[in-house]
Amino acid sequence: MLRVQGLTKRFGGVVAVDNASLDVAEGRIVALIGPNGAGKTTLFTMVSGFQKPDTGTVTYQNQDITGMAPHAICQMGVTRTFQIVQPFAGLSVRENIAIGSHLHHPKRADALAEAAVVAESLGMKAMLDRPAQDLTVAGRKRLELARALATRPKLLLLDEVMAGLIPSEVLEIIPMIRKIRDSGVTILLIEHVMQAVMSLSEEAYVLAQGKMIAHGTPQQLVADPTVIEAYLGHGAAERLKAEHANA
């Protein structure tokens, strides 16, 4: 469904994303993981059209969408969320979500009605008329998700929707994401909460210092020495193995 090939992005002398490729098959939940500063969000911004890659291509449903405008990509069915939440602060939760549902509903009343339905499916019914700026972190993260869902995406790009949540909130949001996938939405997610990655995704890519270093099931990846070294530093895999042997 989504194919990223040889994507590269430089900021001055820094190569944020270096010749990265990945594939997302329809109907799957694919995770993109990696240490801080690996370039995961930069990769997302290029897929969603917010930044143009220096080289490489992004193909969605066999169409080249490289360098297209963000709104055009969203209209094709690819919607992203923001790691740093971006609510329409002065608007109510209902109005926030309605901006998303307007994509398929020209009429105000229809968009507002659809917003209520989306909110209810994410357990936000009680917050509908509260200003977005009054929400807690968890509420704002959920609002990001609700707004994106309201655009009826076929492919959802989730940028750390679980960061900053307490464990009980994470447990609440995991089944929601699974439910979204079961309704026919393909999901590519960036996540640091490994508990979520392990239980949600069938497949994960690991990005470190801009390069795609590994790909496999999450279970394979946590045992992969290259991945462990990327997270914990050079030689970490050896030391861990030694400790295991001693214990």
Residues binding another protein (CB under 8 A): 48, 50, 69-72, 74-75, 79-82, 86-91, 95, 98-100, 102-103, 105-108, 111, 129, 131, 133-134, 147-148, 150-151
Identify which of residues 49 and 210 has a Cβ nearer to another protein in the complex: 49
- In the complex, the smallest distance separating the C-beta of residue 103 from another protein, rounded to whole angstroms, is 4
Residue 89 or 242 having the CB closest to another protein:
89
At residue 36, the 3 state secondary structure works out as coil
Min dist. Cβ of residue 81 to another protein (A): 8
Q: Are 158 and 81 in contact (CB under 8 A)?
A: yes
CA distance 203 to 197: 9
Minimum distance from CB of 13 to another protein (Å)? Answer: 25
**Closest CB 130 distance from another protein, rounded Å:** 8
Q: Which is nearer to another protein, 2 or 237 (CB)?
A: 2
Give Cα 9 distance to the centre of its chain. 19
Question: Strand pairing partners for 156?
Answer: 79, 187
Nearest to 215 by CA among 57, 34, 39: 34
Residue nearer to another protein on the CB measure, 72 or 242: 72
The DSSP H or E segment spanning 61 is none
Q: Measure the CA–CA gap between 213 and 122, rounded to whole angstroms.
A: 35
